[in-house]
Amino acid sequence: AQSVTQPDIHITVSEGASLELRCNYSYGATPYLFWYVQSPGQGLQLLLKYFSGDTLVQGIKGFEAEFKRSQSSFNLRKPSVHWSDAAEYFCAVGPASGGSYIPTFGRGTSLIVHP
Amino acid sequence: DGGITQSPKYLFRKEGQNVTLSCEQNLNHDAMYWYRQDPGQGLRLIYYSQIVNDFQKGDIAEGYSVSREKKESFPLTVTSAQKNPTAFYLCASSESLALKTQYFGPGTRLLVL
């Protein structure tokens, strides 16, 4: 079964600084990978996804993520963080083949942005 | 606007009471899902449905029940058998189980009195 690890429970950055949130997965084949963001008391919003092709994926709100097969990672990055980026971020992984798809979610990383 | 709605936003349950959380979508999606979210635990799958009149248990189905009588609706009942129901509940949908992107509703917070 697939699994996903987000090693950092909390990350604190200053506004304007760069950001990298880590995501490592365990899956036998090429996974489908997602990053979602959740503001307090809200649902999850899709930031970006990787299914195949270019390993550097661009998303909404200036975020990008890079799939590195050799490291089993899909880290989320942003060059300059805004105060409004403070939220919970979830990485998710799913099976690559057809049929049913139920993603496994990481436990989330809480991003705190200092002014 | 297409999307997923959940109601109510907050729900209070008394001891021994069953409560039902509503989830409606107008995205014409076949597949729908219910997740439970607890602090520090991410999302855990309760039930999912890939088509009307069909649903499957997820990882933590005990104490919960669902129905899928209409394509756009997937209500979740938290029964009295669920001893620790306090959590944030999220409903999601996708075009099908084979098409992978899920879209989420705004959630319902369930509290026990």
Give the pLDDT confidence of B59-103 residue by residue, as tens digits: 899 999 999 999 999 999 999 989 899 999 999 999 887 766 899
Q: What is the pLDDT of residues A54-97, one digit of tens each?
A: 899 999 999 999 999 999 999 999 999 999 999 999 999 987 44
Residues 5-44 of A with CB under 8 A from B: 9, 32, 34, 36, 41-44
A115 lies within 8 A of chain B by CB? no
Residue A62 contacts B, CB cutoff 8 Å = no
Task: Supply φ then ψ for residue A11, to 5 degrees.
Answer: -135, 130
Tell me the C-alpha to C-alpha distance, in Å, between residue B96 and each of A39, A51, B84. 26, 16, 31
Determine contact: B42 vs chain A, CB below 8 A.
yes
Q: How far apart are CA A17 and CA A75, in angstroms?
A: 16
pLDDT tens digit sequence for A1-42? 678 999 999 999 999 999 999 999 988 777 889 999 999 889
Q: Is A101 exposed, middle or buried (0-12, 13-18, 19+ CB in 10 A)?
A: buried
Question: What is the distance between the alpha carbons of residues B94 and B30, in angstroms, rounded to a whole number?
Answer: 7
pLDDT of res. B60: 95
